[in-house]
Structure 1
Amino acid sequence: MEQANYSVGLDIGTTKIVAIIGKENEYGKIEILGIGKSKSLGVHRGVVNNITQTIKSIQQAVEEAEANSGLKIGNVVVGIAGQHIRSLQHSDYITRPDSEEVIGDLDLDKLVNQVHKLIMLPGEEIIHVLPQEYKVDGQAEIKQPIGMYGGRLEANFHVVVGQVTSIKNVGRCIKSAGLGLGNITLEPLASSDAVLSQEEKEAGVALIDIGGGTTDLAIFKDGIIRHTAVIPFGGGIITEDIKEGCSIIEKQAELLKMKFGSAWPGENRDNEIVSIPGLRGREPKEISLKNLSKIIHARVVEIIEQVYVEVKNYGHDEQKKKLIAGIVLTGGGSQLKHLKQLVEYITGMDTRIGYPNEHLAGDSDAEIASPLYATAVGLLMNAVKNQSKMQAEVTSVADTPIVEEEEREHELQTNEQKRKERKSVFDKWSEKLKEFLDNAE
């Protein structure tokens, strides 16, 4: 099978690194061809802090995926998250020289480029500039201003900002692992592609992706992303609390959390006890399940309350901004027993667990449809989307009939022009980053 027929998503997480190979089948679903995962050793709270170990972990995951599928991995779409990501709302406008001309792509580009010139804190760079609504000559709530007349074009933007060094370190790891960087996507956006429906995005929904090192939040309303945040706590800190609170080693704490852990302490009776083998011939340790769930409950409440503060900051309390579809939980941490009930209790919002199985082909392995792989599946979907976009462009050029040389040249230029116009700001930014990495060799 040649490279053109399949795509690869690479999720560099705090606890695990997942490489997932897939292609689109004839029904528009994603067919998984191979998956490889390895323990993530060089990442802390979503940020690379040991390049050598991260490269090793990436290579391990990639080799396993290649062995499972019998395919060779070239370009990958990678996710970016971490505690350095923050977002802000910004309004900007441009005055057009000729209001008798209709608004076109160039005007929108000019407005977006103006936002890119915002002065950031030292070492920070704008990753995403996401337009919300436009205003033309004071007329508000315009979703798409192209083709309208007007002198003053205004817009509200959701701006996502991250640390330059963290982003470049991820790029460096990909390159050193012998892979090509296809694209970079914000992880909460990838997860939302995998687990949210269009109806939920329209009605208003908060996606909470509880990973090992961070909890990512993405809020959608009217089909547009309205707010993103990364909270620097995840499943790993709960394990850490169990380790400290029960005086046991991390491996045992993780197993305890997964097998017996619950976010709701009232559920366990006082006499429910689990025995843990002692180290090197020491006496076994007895741990009360009620105490275990009290430890878990305290930390989970803290994480959910921080997320709820972000939801309130977005303005969920206002009638117009109400999130009708409530909350969707995903990521490895969402598998904790009774977490859904606790989230509903704290926030008073409808909650469900998000599984990335809606976009997968029917014969996919049940393991991949777990919330654990939501980000990886989302990144793969992004890679497949990019792949089919490129193939469509190649086909449209290849299908042009043999006409006069000049006409064909014009056709090619038009296609190229259309392709450039369609490029999102983020794609352009990814290209800039790739150029930087190539020059840094």
Structure 2
Amino acid sequence: MEQGNYSVGLDIGTTKIVAIIGKENEYGKIEVLGIGRSKSLGVHRGVVNNITQTIKSIQQAVEQAEANSGLKIGSVVVGIAGQHIRSLQHSDYITRAKSEEVINEDDVDKLCNQVYKLVMLPGEEIIHVLPQEFKIDGQGEIKQPMGMYGGRLEANFHVVVGQVSSIRNVGRCIKSAGLDLGNITLEPLASANAVLSQEEKEAGVALIDIGGGTTDLAIFKDGIIRHTAVIPFGGNVITEDIKEGCSIIEKQAELLKIKFGSAWPGENKDNEIVSIPGLRGREPKEITLKNLSKIIHARVVEIVEQVYVEIKNYGHEEQKKKLIAGIVLTGGGSQLKHLKQLVEYITGMDTRIGYPNEHLAGDSDEEIASPLYATAVGLLMNAVQNKPKIKEVPQDAVEKEGGQDSYGMEGSSQAQTALKKERKSIFDKWSEKLKDFLDNAE
């Protein structure tokens, strides 16, 4: 298979690193060609804290994915998360010199680039600038300004900010593992792409991605991202609590959580006991499932309440900002028994578990459709969407477009093509800057 026909997403998590290779089939679905996962050893709460270990873990996952698919991995799209991520709202405008000409992608680019120049705190850099609504000459609630007339172009932006050093460390790991950095995207956005439907994003929905080290939140309303947050707790702190509370080793605590854990203590009877083998010939330990679920419940409530504070900060109680589709839980931590019921109880909002199977081809492996792989599938989708599909465009269609690749959208209007290009350029500029930095740092 040719190098250009497939894309790769790389999810660098706190507990696992997943490399996933795939391509788009003729029905527009993602066909997974290979997947590799390894235990993540150099990442703490979404942030790289041991470069050597992380490089090793990335190489293991990549080698496994290559062996599975028989393909060579070159460029990857990487997710970024961690406790250093924060978001803010910002409004900006440009005044156009020629208001008699229609607004084009250059104007939108110019406005977005202006936001990138915002002064951040020392050591921080803007990762994403996501336009929300545009205003043209005071006329508001415009979702797509291209092709319209106007002198003053204004927009509200959702700006995602992260620590430069943390992001560069991820870039350094990718490069040292022998890979090219194709793009960087925020993990909550990747998960949202994989598990949310367009209807949910329109109606208003909060996506909660419970990972090993962090819990990511992304709120959508009217099809636009409105709020993102990263909470520095995840499934690992639950395991840690079980380990401490029951005086057992981490491996046993993790198994207990997965096999017998429940977020609802009333579920277990007092006489339900599980026996854990002792270390090196010591007596086995007996733990009641009621106690186990009490430990889990206390920590899960804390995580959910922190997320709920962020949802309140967004202002979901206002009529205009109401989240009609409620909450979608995804990530490895969402597989905890009775978590859905607990979240509904605490927040009073409809809740479902999000599986990334909607965008996957019908014959995909069932394992990949697990919430565990939501971020990895989302990153793969990002890689596929941002890849110019030159091979799939008939030659005459390319010539009609003035020699430009129309991103596989045969017969698409120039405005649509421009939109694709504009979106790609905003997402890619940052990655290019990072790549330049890494090249110069050699």
Measured against the shorter chain, the TM-score band is: over 0.9
Match of 2:343 in 1: 343
Identical-pair percentage: 87
Contact 1:101-1:149 within 8 A present in 2 as well: yes
Match of 2:390 in 1: 391
Aligned equivalents of 2:156 and 2:56: distance in 1?
A: 42
Aligned equivalents of 2:404 and 2:282: distance in 1?
A: 75
Aligned equivalents of 1:363 and 1:172: distance in 2?
A: 36
Deviation at 1:103, TM superposition (A): 2.5
Q: Which residue identity does 1:149 align to in structure 2?
A: Y
Deviation at 1:293, TM superposition (A): 0.5
Is 1:126 matched with 2:126? yes
Aligned equivalents of 1:207 and 1:336: distance in 2?
A: 16
Match of 1:406 in 2: none
Q: Which residue identity does 2:427 align to in structure 1?
A: F
The alignment partner of 1:400 has SS state of helix
Match of 1:168 in 2: 168
Gap change, CA 1:413 and 1:4, over 3 Å in 2: closer
Deviation at 1:188, TM superposition (A): 0.7
Match of 2:307 in 1: 307
Q: Which residue identity does 2:441 align to in structure 1?
A: A
When the two structures are superposed, what TM-score results if normalisation uses the length of structure 1? 0.94
Q: Which residue identity does 2:112 align to in structure 1?
A: V
Aligned equivalents of 1:414 and 1:26: distance in 2?
A: 19
Contact 1:188-1:218 within 8 A present in 2 as well: yes
Aligned equivalents of 2:405 and 2:334: distance in 1?
A: 47
Match of 1:46 in 2: 46
Is 1:93 matched with 2:93? yes
Aligned equivalents of 1:140 and 1:112: distance in 2?
A: 18
| Pairing of 1:181-192 with structure 2 (within 5 A) | 181-192=181-192
Gap change, CA 1:66 and 1:414, over 3 Å in 2: closer
Gap change, CA 1:41 and 1:257, over 3 Å in 2: same
Q: Which residue identity does 1:305 align to in structure 2?
A: E
| Pairing of 1:39-438 with structure 2 (within 5 A) | 39-387=39-387, 389-391=388-390, 399-400=398-399, 411-412=402-403, 421=422, 423-438=424-439
Deviation at 1:428, TM superposition (A): 1.4
Q: Which residue identity does 1:314 align to in structure 2?
A: Y
Deviation at 1:424, TM superposition (A): 3.5
Gap change, CA 1:152 and 1:245, over 3 Å in 2: same
Deviation digits for residues 316-359 of structure 1 (CA, Å, limit 9, x no counterpart): 00011101111100000000000000000000110000011111
The alignment partner of 2:21 has SS state of strand
Residue range with higher mean Cα deviation, 238-247 or 18-27: 18-27
Aligned equivalents of 2:436 and 2:397: distance in 1?
A: 28
Deviation at 1:435, TM superposition (A): 1.8
Contact 1:12-1:18 within 8 A present in 2 as well: yes
Aligned equivalents of 2:217 and 2:235: distance in 1?
A: 15
Contact 2:393-2:405 within 8 A present in 1 as well: no
Could you list the runs of 5+ residues in structure 2 that have no partner in the other structure? 408-416
Instruction: Give me the CA root mean square deviation.
Output: 2.0
Q: Which residue identity does 1:120 align to in structure 2?
A: M
Aligned equivalents of 2:204 and 2:285: distance in 1?
A: 47
Deviation at 1:396, TM superposition (A): 5.4
Residue range with higher mean Cα deviation, 180-189 or 120-129: 180-189
Contact 2:55-2:173 within 8 A present in 1 as well: yes
Contact 2:109-2:422 within 8 A present in 1 as well: no
Deviation digits for residues 149-186 of structure 1 (CA, Å, limit 9, x no counterpart): 33322211100000011111111101111111111111
Is 1:439 matched with 2:430? no
Gap change, CA 1:51 and 1:7, over 3 Å in 2: same
Aligned equivalents of 1:336 and 1:421: distance in 2?
A: 40
Deviation digits for residues 392-418 of structure 1 (CA, Å, limit 9, x no counterpart): 6975588538xxxxxxxx934798995
The alignment partner of 1:225 has SS state of strand
Could you list the runs of 5+ residues in structure 1 that have no partner in the other structure? 402-409
Q: Which residue identity does 2:193 align to in structure 1?
A: D
When the two structures are superposed, what TM-score results if normalisation uses the length of structure 2? 0.93
Gap change, CA 1:149 and 1:5, over 3 Å in 2: closer
Q: Which residue identity does 2:238 align to in structure 1?
A: I
Gap change, CA 1:411 and 1:177, over 3 Å in 2: same
Deviation digits for residues 365-402 of structure 1 (CA, Å, limit 9, x no counterpart): 11111000001111111112223x3426975588538x
Match of 1:405 in 2: none
Aligned equivalents of 1:264 and 1:97: distance in 2?
A: 62
Gap change, CA 1:420 and 1:20, over 3 Å in 2: closer
Q: Which residue identity does 2:437 align to in structure 1?
A: F
Deviation digits for residues 272-291 of structure 1 (CA, Å, limit 9, x no counterpart): 11111111111111111111
Contact 1:8-1:21 within 8 A present in 2 as well: yes
Deviation at 1:420, TM superposition (A): 5.5
The alignment partner of 2:89 has SS state of strand
